[in-house]
C-alpha cells in the first residue's frame, strides 16, 4: 500500500465518506439536540402558561419575522448555488454566491436588530415575561449561529481562489448554513405564529 | 495468595449482605405495610440472585484457576443459554413492575375521600414546616385557622389529606415511620396533594429529604399521632387557647 | 461485511496510507499542545487522577463531619476554618457534597474512561494512526483542562463553591439569597459544565468519526473489541444528551444573570423577602433537562468500564468472551433505553404518578441488558484457565460489585419502595457500588493492564495486589453498611445526622464508615506511589506482556508515535483464545495472517 500526495487531500474512510463531512453531520446531530432542548422547554412552559404566552406572542412583529424567513430561505438557495459552483470548478460564481449569501445573512441580522430595537424601545426585555425570555434566548442563540456562519463564509470567500479550498469545505459550510436556516424555520412559527 | 485474599474479601461482603437483612424502621401506616412487603419481596429475589451469581463467581475462580497442563475450552456462544437468561429475568422484572402498580396507585393516585379525612396544609420554607388546620369553620385561610410550627398532630386510624407547598426552594416532606416522602415545590401553582394514615399512637419525626440550603440538616419536625378522642380534645383546647378577636364594643373614649 | 481482507482494501482510507509524520521535537508540541492521541489520552488520565485525589479529599472531609459533627478537624481544621475554631460550617459541608459529586462524575470517572482510555485506545484498537481530527482532540483536552481550573477556582471564591448538590436543583441554585454557594461559585460551576460540554462534544465527534471511518482493512463492526464498541455507544450518548443540558445551563445562567425566570415560579419568598422574578417557570423542568443528561451520563460512567472488563476477562481466562454479539446488543439497548428512563430520578418530585409507572417499567427493563452482561462475564470464566494478575483481580471485583449495585437498583426502580429510600444512604450505596465498585475498579484494572502500552513498563504486581486487597475490603466496609442505614431512613446530604432521634442510634455505623473511608483513602496512596514509581522504575515490558489479541498488542511497548509501521490487516475477531488454530500458543492476534491450514471455521471471521 503505497501513498501518494493526492491522497492526503481526500481523507475518505472505510465508509467511503470523507472524515470532514462525517464530522460535520455528527456535529449537526449534536446541534439539533441543543435546539431540541430549548424548543422542548418552550413547548413545556408554553403549555403551562398558555394565555400569557399567546398574548405576548401577538406582540412580535410578524411581517418582519416573515421577511427574515424569506431572506434566510433565499440565502440557503444562494448557498446551494455556491456549492454547485465549486463542484463545477467555477470559482467566479462561487465568490459571487458566497458574497450574496453573506449579504443576505447580514440583512437577516439587520432585520433582527431592528426587531430587537423595537422590543427594547417598548421595554420588552428578557425579564419582562417568560415568552420574551424564550424569544430573546432562542433567537439570540440562533443569531449567534448566523454570526458564526457569516464569519466562516467570509473566510471561505477570502480564500475562494486558493487550491486548498476544495468543494468539500464549501459543502460543509453549506450543510451548516442549511441547518441554521432549518432552525429558523422551526423558530419562526413557534414564536411568531402561535 | 491473591486468590485467597479475593475469596476472603468476597466472603466478607457476602456475610455482611446476609447479616444486613431487611432493616427497616418501625412502620405505623397502611401504605407502609405494602411498601415493606414489596421491599421484602425484592430483598428475597435479589438475595437469591446475589447468592447465585456471587457463588458461581467464587466457584469459578477456584475451579478454573490456571493449572499446569490444562487448556481453556474454546466456547463462546450458546443461543439457548443466552435466550434463557434474557427471557427469564425479563419476565421476573416485568412481573415485579406490574406487581407494584397497585401500591403506587394507593400511595400517589387514589386519594381518600376528603369528607372522611383530616385536612392539613403545610407550607415549607427554609428551614421549617408551617402547619395549618382550617379551624372550627372548616375553611382554610380564615381568621380562626390554627397554625403550628414543625409540629403535626393527627388522629390515629383516620386518613390525613395534606396540601403541600413551598415558599422558597424545593423541600421534601419525609415521614420515615409512615413510609411517606413527597417533594414540595415552590410557587402557588405547584400545590401537591398527599395522603397517609397512622395506625399507632406515638411521637415520630418529620424530615426534609431534599437539599434546601445550609440549614437542611436541621429542618426537622415532629409528628404526634393521638387517638381520635385525644386528638379532638387537643384540637378543642388549641382553639380555646387561641386569643379570641378583641371585639369589646368600645374604643378609647375621650373625656372619661 | 466481507471476510475477504482484499475486498476491503479497495474501499478503505487512503489517509491511513500517509507515511507517519515525524514526531514533533519541540517541547510544547510534543508534551503540552500535542495532537497525538496517546499523549492526549495520558494528559486526560493524569489530570483526572489529580482530580480523583481532590474529590477523594473532599469525601474525607465529609466523612469526618458525619462521624464527628462539628468537631474540630484534626491538623487542618484551624487552618481552614479559623473563625469557627476548626470545625466546618454547614454551608461548607453542602459545598463538599456538591463538588465531591461534580468532580467525581465530570472530572474523574468520565474523563478517565472516555478522555483517557478512549483517546489512548480507540485508534490503536481500530488500527489507525491517530484520531480523525487530531487538532480538535487537542482542543478538547485543553478546554477540559480549563473547565477543571474553573471548578477548582470556584472552591476559593466568596461564598464558596456551588452548594446545590451535584444536580443543582433550582430555585436553590438560581437564587443568590437561598444559599451562600449560589453566588459566584454557582456561576463558575455553570461555566465549568459549559466548557465540559465543548470538550466532550469535540471528543465524541472525534470518537465517532474515528470508529466509523478509520477502521483498518478487515476490521468490520463485529470484529471491534467490546471496549471500542462501548466507546462508540458512549460517544453517541454524550453527543446527544449533553447539548440538551447545555441548553438548560444557558437558561439557568440567564435566570441568574439577566433576570429571566425559566426555572422560577412567581410568588417566591426567601427569608420573608419577595423574589423579583416574572415567574411562570418550572423547577421540575430543570430536573427533566438535568436528568436527560444525568442518566445517560451514568451509562457514560459504566459502559466503558464494562468494555474494559470485557477486554480483561478473556485475556486472563485464556478464553473467548462469551456471547460477543449479545454483549454488543446489550450495550446498544442500554443506550436506547438510557434516553427514556431519566425521570426515574424524579419519582418523588411531583411528577405525574401515571407517567412514573411508565418510567418504572422502562427502568426495570434496563436492568435486563446489564444482567445479560453479567451472565456473559460469568460464562466467560466458565472452563477458562484463570490467572490472577492485578488487572484480573480488579475485573473480577468489578463483576462482583457491579452485581450488588445492579441488584440494589431494583429496589429504587420499584416506585413504592423508592418512596421510602429516595434521597437516603441507600441511593448513595447503590451508585457508589456502580461508580466506584464498578467504574473505578475497572479503571484501576485498566491502568495496570494498559500501563505497559502507555509507558513501556509494568506496574508492580505486589503493590498492585496490596492496593487491590485494601481497596476491596475498605470499599465494602464503607458502602455496604450504607444500604442498611438508608433502609432505616438515613438522609443523604445532611451535615449532622445526630439532629434526628431516629438516626442517633446509627451514629456508631457512621463512625465505622468514616474510619473505613480513611483506610480506603490511604490505600489510594499505594496506587499513586506504584503509578509514579513504575513510570520511571517499573520492569520493562515486552510488546505483548499479557498475550492478548487486540491490535494495540501487536506493536511495541510503549506504542510508537504513529502506532503502526504499516496499517494492519485484520483477519479475525479479538477474542481468539485457546482455539485449535494457534498450535502451541493459546492466542491468535487479530492481525496475524492465517498460516495454519487446518484452522477452524471461526478462525477467519466473526463470532457465530
Measure the CA dihedral B185/B186/B189/B193, to 10°.
40
User: H/E element holding C549?
Assistant: none
Q: Which residues of B touch C578 (CB under 8 A)?
A: 71-74
C386, B211: Cβ pair inside 8 Å? no
Per the CB < 8 A criterion, the answer to whether C219 and C126 are in contact is yes
Pairing of strands C269-270, C273-274: antiparallel
**Mean predicted confidence (pLDDT) in B23-41:** 93
The pLDDT assigned to A3 comes to 37
The pLDDT assigned to C44 comes to 97
Comparison of pLDDT for C128 and B144, the residue scoring more: C128
Alpha-carbon gap: B253 to the closest alpha carbon of chain C (Å): 37
Does the pLDDT at position C277 exceed 90? no
pLDDT in tens, C51-64: 999 999 999 999 99
Comparison of pLDDT for C274 and A9, the residue scoring more: C274
pLDDT in tens, C200-231: 999 999 999 999 999 999 999 999 999 999 99
The pLDDT assigned to C24 comes to 77
* Candidate from B16, B186, B209 with C-beta closest to C491: B209
User: H/E element holding C539?
Assistant: strand C539-540
Comparison of pLDDT for C604 and B131, the residue scoring more: B131
Q: Please tell me which residue of chain B has the smallest CA distance to C403.
A: B50
C241, A33: Cβ pair inside 8 Å? yes
Residue pairs spanning B and C at CB distance below 8 A: 333
The pLDDT assigned to A10 comes to 42
Per the CB < 8 A criterion, the answer to whether C11 and C2 are in contact is no
* Candidate from C19, C213, C247 with C-beta closest to A13: C213
Q: Please, which pLDDT band fits residue B115 given cuts at 50, 70 and 90?
A: confident
Q: Please, which pLDDT band fits residue C111 given cuts at 50, 70 and 90?
A: very high
Per the CB < 8 A criterion, the answer to whether C246 and C197 are in contact is yes
Does the pLDDT at position C495 exceed 50? yes
Q: Which residues of B touch C608 (CB under 8 A)?
A: 77
The pLDDT assigned to C569 comes to 92
Return residues 95-154 of C near A (CB < 8 Å).
132-133
A19, C214: Cβ pair inside 8 Å? yes
The 8-class DSSP code of residue C551 comes to G
ipTM confidence score? 0.92
Q: Chains with ≥3 Cβ pairs under 8 A against B? A: C
Per the CB < 8 A criterion, the answer to whether C313 and C381 are in contact is yes
Does the pLDDT at position A112 exceed 70? yes
Does the pLDDT at position B64 exceed 50? yes
The pLDDT assigned to A45 comes to 94
C-alpha cell, C129? 494512526
**Residue B255, exposed/middle/buried by CB under 10 A (0-12, 13-18, 19+)?**
exposed
Per the CB < 8 A criterion, the answer to whether B141 and B130 are in contact is no
E strand intervals along C64-200: none
The pLDDT assigned to C608 comes to 46
Angle at C379 (CA atoms; ends C375, C380), nearest 5 degrees: 120
Name B131's bridge partners.
B122, B148
Within 10 Å of residue B30's Cβ, how many Cβ atoms?
17
Pairing of strands B192-196, B151-155: unpaired
Query: φ, ψ for residue B175 (rounded to 5)?
Result: -115, 95
Q: Please, which pLDDT band fits residue C13 given cuts at 50, 70 and 90?
A: very low
Q: Which long-range contacts (CB under 8 A, 24 or more apart) does A163-169 make?
A: A165/A86, A166/A9, A166/A86, A167/A83, A167/A86, A167/A87, A168/A18, A168/A20, A168/A21, A169/A20
Pairing of strands B171-175, B221-226: unpaired
The pLDDT assigned to C9 comes to 37
The pLDDT assigned to B242 comes to 76
The pLDDT assigned to B6 comes to 56
C-alpha cell, C29? 508540541
Name B183's bridge partners.
B172
Q: How far is it, in rounded angstroms, from Cα C71 to Cα C11?
A: 69
Does the pLDDT at position C479 exceed 80? yes
Q: What SS3 class is residue C26?
A: coil
* Candidate from C97, C169, C469 with C-beta closest to B170: C169
Q: Please, which pLDDT band fits residue B252 given cuts at 50, 70 and 90?
A: confident
Pairing of strands B118-125, B160-166: parallel
Contact of B15 with chain C, judged by CB distance below 8 Å, is answered with: no
Q: How far does Cα C599 stand from its chain's mean position?
A: 39
The pLDDT assigned to A7 comes to 33
pLDDT in tens, C156-185: 998 889 999 999 999 999 999 999 989 999
Cell 445573512 sits at which residue? A105
User: H/E element holding C100?
Assistant: helix C90-102
Does the pLDDT at position C518 exceed 50? yes
Alpha-carbon gap: A187 to the closest alpha carbon of chain C (Å): 15
The pLDDT assigned to B13 comes to 54
* Cβ-Cβ contacts under 8 Å for C362 (sequence gap 6 or more): C337, C340, C341, C344
The pLDDT assigned to C6 comes to 39
Length of chain B: 256
C372, B86: Cβ pair inside 8 Å? yes
Q: What is the CA radius of gyration of chain B?
A: 28
Q: How far is it, in rounded angstroms, from Cα A178 to Cα A163?
A: 25
Instruction: Return the HEC string of chain B.
Output: CHHHHHHHHHHHHHHHHHHHCCCCCCCCCHHHHHHHHHHHHHHHHHHHHHHHHHHHHHHHHHHCECCCCCCCCCCCCCHHHHHHHHHHHHHHHHHHHHHCHHHHHHHHCCCCCCCCCEEEEEEEECCEEEEEECCCCCCCCCCCCEEEECEEEEECCCCEEEEEEECCCCEEEEEHHHCEEEEECECHHHCEEEEECCCCCEEEEEEECCCCCCCHHHCCEEEEEECHHHHHHHHHHHHHHCCCCCCCCCCCCCCC
**Mean predicted confidence (pLDDT) in B230-238:** 93
Which of C419, C470, C577, C601 is the best substitution to test chain B (most B C-beta atoms within 10 A)?
Answer: C419
Does the pLDDT at position C17 exceed 70? no
Return residues 317-346 of C near A (CB < 8 Å).
none
The pLDDT assigned to C601 comes to 43
* Cβ-Cβ contacts under 8 Å for B227 (sequence gap 6 or more): B155, B156, B201
* Cβ-Cβ contacts under 8 Å for C450 (sequence gap 6 or more): C117, C120, C121, C552
The runs of H, that is alpha helices, within chain A are 19-48, 50-57, 62-87, 91-121, 130-158, 167-192
Alpha-carbon gap: C52 to the closest alpha carbon of chain B (Å): 24
pLDDT in tens, B166-178: 999 999 999 999 9
- Got the DSSP string for C27-54? HIIIIIS---HHHHHHHHHHHHHHHHHH
The pLDDT assigned to B224 comes to 97
* Candidate from A19, A52, A130 with C-beta closest to C213: A19
Per the CB < 8 A criterion, the answer to whether B109 and C396 are in contact is no
Q: What percent of chain A has pLDDT over 90?
A: 84
Q: What SS3 class is residue C458?
A: strand
Contact of C239 with chain A, judged by CB distance below 8 Å, is answered with: yes
The pLDDT assigned to A158 comes to 94
Q: Which residues of C touch A11 (CB under 8 A)?
A: 13-15, 132
The least confident of A143-152, C79-88, C598-607 is C598-607
Which of A13, A44, A131 is the best substitution to test chain C (most C C-beta atoms within 10 A)?
Answer: A13
C-alpha cell, C508? 456508631
Q: What SS3 class is residue C429?
A: helix
The least confident of B141-150, C320-329, C420-429 is B141-150
Does the pLDDT at position C5 exceed 50? no
Q: Please tell me which residue of chain B has the smallest CA distance to C374.
A: B53
Per the CB < 8 A criterion, the answer to whether B169 and C171 are in contact is yes
A38, C247: Cβ pair inside 8 Å? yes
The pLDDT assigned to B48 comes to 94
**Mean predicted confidence (pLDDT) in C416-430:** 96
Cell 486487597 sits at which residue? C469
Q: Which residues of B touch C469 (CB under 8 A)?
A: 2, 5-6, 9
The pLDDT assigned to B247 comes to 74
* Candidate from B49, B70, B214 with C-beta closest to C91: B214
Contact of A121 with chain C, judged by CB distance below 8 Å, is answered with: no
Name B151's bridge partners.
B222
C-alpha cell, C594? 492465517
C393, B207: Cβ pair inside 8 Å? no
**Mean predicted confidence (pLDDT) in B187-193:** 89
pLDDT in tens, C358-414: 999 999 998 999 999 999 999 999 999 999 999 999 999 999 999 999 999 999 999
Cis peptide before A182 (omega within 30 of 0): no
Residue pairs spanning A and C at CB distance below 8 A: 152
Q: Please tell me which residue of chain A has the smallest CA distance to C17.
A: A3
Does the pLDDT at position C597 exceed 60? no
Cell 395534606 sits at which residue? B162
The pLDDT assigned to C1 comes to 39
Q: How far is it, in rounded angstroms, from Cα A125 to Cα C409?
A: 46
B77, C386: Cβ pair inside 8 Å? no
Q: Please tell me which residue of chain A has the smallest CA distance to C265.
A: A130
The pLDDT assigned to C574 comes to 96
Average pLDDT taken over every residue of chain C: 92
The pLDDT assigned to C3 comes to 43
**Mean predicted confidence (pLDDT) in B154-180:** 96
C282, A37: Cβ pair inside 8 Å? no
Q: Which residues of C touch A19 (CB under 8 A)?
A: 15, 132-133, 209, 213-214
Amino acid at each position: 500500500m503505497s501513498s501518494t500526495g493526492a491522497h492526503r487531500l481526500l481523507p475518505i474512510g472505510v465508509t467511503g465518506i470523507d472524515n470532514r463531512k462525517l464530522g460535520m453531520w455528527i456535529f449537526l446531530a449534536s446541534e439539533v439536540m441543543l435546539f431540541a432542548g430549548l424548543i422542548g422547554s418552550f413547548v413545556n412552559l408554553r403549555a403551562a402558561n398558555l394565555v400569557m404566552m399567546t398574548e405576548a406572542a401577538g406582540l412580535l412583529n410578524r411581517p418582519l419575522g416573515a421577511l427574515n424567513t424569506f431572506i434566510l430561505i433565499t440565502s440557503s438557495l444562494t448557498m446551494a448555488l455556491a456549492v454547485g459552483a465549486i463542484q463545477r470548478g467555477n470559482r467566479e460564481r462561487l465568490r459571487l454566491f458566497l458574497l450574496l449569501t453573506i449579504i443576505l445573512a447580514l440583512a437577516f441580522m439587520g432585520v433582527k436588530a431592528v426587531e430587537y430595537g423595537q422590543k427594547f424601545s417598548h421595554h420588552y426585555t428578557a425579564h419582562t415575561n417568560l415568552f420574551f425570555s424564550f424569544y430573546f434566548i432562542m433567537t439570540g442563540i440562533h443569531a449567534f449561529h448566523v454570526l458564526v456562519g457569516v464569519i466562516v463564509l467570509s473566510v471561505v470567500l477570502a480564500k475562494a481562489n486558493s487550491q486548498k479550498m476544495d468543494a468539500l469545505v464549501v459543502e460543509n459550510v453549506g450543510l451548516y448554513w442549511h441547518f441554521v436556516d432549518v432552525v429558523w424555520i422551526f423558530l419562526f412559527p413557534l414564536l411568531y405564529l402561535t | 495468595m491473591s486468590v485467597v485474599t479475593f475469596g476472603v474479601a468476597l466472603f466478607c461482603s457476602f456475610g455482611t449482605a446476609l447479616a444486613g437483612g431487611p432493616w427497616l424502621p418501625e412502620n405505623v401506616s397502611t401504605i407502609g405495610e405494602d411498601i415493606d412487603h414489596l421491599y421484602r419481596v425484592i430483598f428475597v429475589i435479589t438475595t437469591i440472585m446475589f447468592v447465585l451469581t456471587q457463588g458461581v463467581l467464587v466457584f469459578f475462580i477456584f475451579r478454573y484457576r490456571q493449572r499446569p497442563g490444562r487448556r481453556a475450552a474454546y466456547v463462546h456462544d450458546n443461543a439457548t443459554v443466552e435466550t434463557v437468561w434474557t427471557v427469564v429475568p425479563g419476565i421476573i422484572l416485568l412481573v415485579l413492575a406490574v406487581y407494584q402498580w397497585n401500591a403506587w396507585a394507593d400511595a400517589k393516585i387514589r386519594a381518600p375521600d376528603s369528607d372522611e379525612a383530616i385536612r392539613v396544609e403545610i407550607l415549607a420554607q427554609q428551614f421549617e414546616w408551617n402547619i395549618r388546620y382550617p379551624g372550627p369553620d372548616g375553611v382554610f385561610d380564615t381568621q380562626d385557622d390554627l397554625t403550628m410550627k414543625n409540629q403535626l398532630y393527627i388522629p390515629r386510624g383516620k386518613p390525613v389529606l395534606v396540601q403541600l407547598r413551598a415558599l422558597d426552594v424545593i423541600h421534601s416532606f419525609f415521614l420515615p415511620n409512615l413510609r411517606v416522602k413527597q417533594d414540595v415545590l415552590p410557587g402557588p401553582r405547584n400545590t401537591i396533594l398527599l395522603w397517609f394514615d397512622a395506625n399507632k399512637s406515638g411521637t415520630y419525626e418529620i424530615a426534609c429529604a431534599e437539599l434546601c440550603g445550609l440549614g437542611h440538616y436541621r429542618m426537622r419536625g415532629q409528628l404526634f399521632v393521638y387517638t381520635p378522642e385525644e386528638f379532638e380534645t387537643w384540637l378543642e383546647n388549641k382553639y380555646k387557647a387561641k386569643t379570641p378577636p378583641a371585639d369589646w364594643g368600645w374604643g378609647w373614649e375621650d373625656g372619661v | 461485511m466481507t471476510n475477504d481482507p482484499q475486498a476491503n482494501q479497495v474501499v478503505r482510507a487512503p489517509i491511513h496510507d500517509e507515511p507517519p509524520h515525524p514526531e514533533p521535537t519541540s517541547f510544547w508540541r510534543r508534551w503540552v499542545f500535542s495532537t497525538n492521541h496517546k499523549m492526549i489520552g495520558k494528559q486526560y488520565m493524569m489530570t483526572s487522577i489529580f482530580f480523583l485525589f481532590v474529590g477523594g479529599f473532599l469525601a474525607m472531609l465529609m466523612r469526618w463531619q458525619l462521624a464527628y459533627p462539628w468537631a474540630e478537624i484534626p491538623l487542618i481544621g484551624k487552618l481552614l476554618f479559623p473563625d469557627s475554631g476548626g470545625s466546618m460550617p454547614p454551608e461548607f459541608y453542602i459545598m463538599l457534597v456538591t463538588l465531591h459529586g461534580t468532580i467525581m462524575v465530570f472530572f474523574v470517572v468520565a474523563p478517565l474512561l472516555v478522555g483517557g482510555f478512549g483517546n489512548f485506545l480507540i485508534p490503536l484498537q481500530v488500527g489507525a494512526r491517530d484520531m480523525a481530527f487530531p487538532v480538535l482532540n487537542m482542543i478538547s483536552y485543553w478546554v477540559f483542562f480549563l473547565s477543571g481550573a474553573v471548578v477548582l477556582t470556584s472552591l476559593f471564591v466568596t461564598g464558596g463553591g456551588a452548594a446545590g448538590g451535584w444536580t443543582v436543583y433550582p430555585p436553590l441554585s438560581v437564587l443568590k439569597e437561598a444559599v451562600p454557594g449560589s453566588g459566584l461559585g454557582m456561576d463558575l460551576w455553570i461555566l465549568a459544565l459549559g466548557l465540559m460540554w465543548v470538550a466532550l462534544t469535540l471528543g465524541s465527534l472525534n470518537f465517532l468519526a474515528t470508529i466509523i471511518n478509520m477502521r483498518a482493512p478487515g476490521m468490520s463492526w463485529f470484529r471491534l473489541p467490546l471496549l471500542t464498541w462501548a466507546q462508540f455507544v458512549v460517544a453517541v450518548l454524550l453527543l446527544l444528551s449533553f447539548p440538551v443540558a447545555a441548553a438548560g445551563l444557558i437558561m439557568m445562567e440567564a435566570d441568574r444573570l439577566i433576570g429571566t425566570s425559566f426555572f422560577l415560579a412567581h410568588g417566591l419568598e426567601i427569608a420573608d423577602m419577595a423574589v423579583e422574578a416574572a415567574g411562570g417557570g418550572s423547577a421540575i423542568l430543570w430536573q427533566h433537562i438535568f436528568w436527560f443528561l444525568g442518566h445517560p451520563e451514568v451509562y457514560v460512567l459504566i459502559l466503558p468500564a464494562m468494555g474494559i472488563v470485557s477486554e480483561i476477562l478473556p485475556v486472563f481466562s485464556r478464553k473467548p468472551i462469551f456471547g460477543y454479539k449479545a454483549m454488543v446488543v446489550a450495550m446498544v439497548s442500554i443506550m436506547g433505553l438510557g434516553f427514556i428512563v431519566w425521570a426515574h430520578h424524579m419519582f418523588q418530585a411531583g411528577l405525574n404518578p401515571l407517567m412514573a409507572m411508565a418510567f418504572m417499567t422502562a427502568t426495570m427493563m434496563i436492568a435486563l441488558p446489564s444482567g445479560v452482561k453479567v451472565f456473559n462475564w460469568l460464562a466467560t470464566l466458565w472452563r477458562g484457565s484463570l490467572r490472577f494478575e492485578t488487572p484480573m483481580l480488579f475485573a473480577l471485583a468489578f463483576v462482583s460489585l457491579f452485581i450488588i449495585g445492579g441488584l440494589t437498583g431494583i429496589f429504587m426502580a420499584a416506585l413504592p419502595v423508592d418512596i421510602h429510600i429516595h434521597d437516603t444512604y441507600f441511593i448513595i450505596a447503590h451508585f457508589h457500588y456502580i461508580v466506584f465498585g464498578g467504574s473505578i475498579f475497572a479503571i484501576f484494572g485498566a491502568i495496570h493492564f494498559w500501563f505497559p502500552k502507555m509507558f513501556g513498563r509494568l506496574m508492580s504486581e505486589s503493590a498492585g495486589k496490596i492496593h487491590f486487597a485494601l481497596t476491596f475490603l475498605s470499599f465494602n466496609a464503607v458502602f455496604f453498611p450504607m444500604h442498611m442505614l438508608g433502609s432505616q431512613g438515613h438522609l443523604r446530604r445532611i451535615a449532622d445526622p445526630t439532629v434526628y432521634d431516629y438516626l442517633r442510634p446509627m451514629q456508631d455505623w457512621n463512625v465505622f464508615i468514616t474510619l473505613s473511608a480513611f483506610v480506603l483513602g490511604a490505600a489510594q496512596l499505594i496506587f499513586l506511589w506504584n503509578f509514579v514509581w513504575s513510570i520511571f522504575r517499573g520492569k520493562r515490558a515486552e510488546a505483548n506482556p499479557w498475550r492478548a489479541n487486540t491490535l494495540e498488542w501487536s506493536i511495541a511497548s510503549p506504542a510508537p508515535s504513529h502506532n503502526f509501521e504499516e496499517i494492519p490487516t485484520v483477519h479475525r475477531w479479538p477474542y481468539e483464545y485457546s482455539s485449535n488454530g494457534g498450535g502451541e500458543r493459546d492466542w491468535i492476534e487479530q492481525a496475524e495472517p492465517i498460516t495454519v491450514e487446518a484452522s477452524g471455521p471461526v478462525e477467519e471471521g466473526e463470532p457465530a
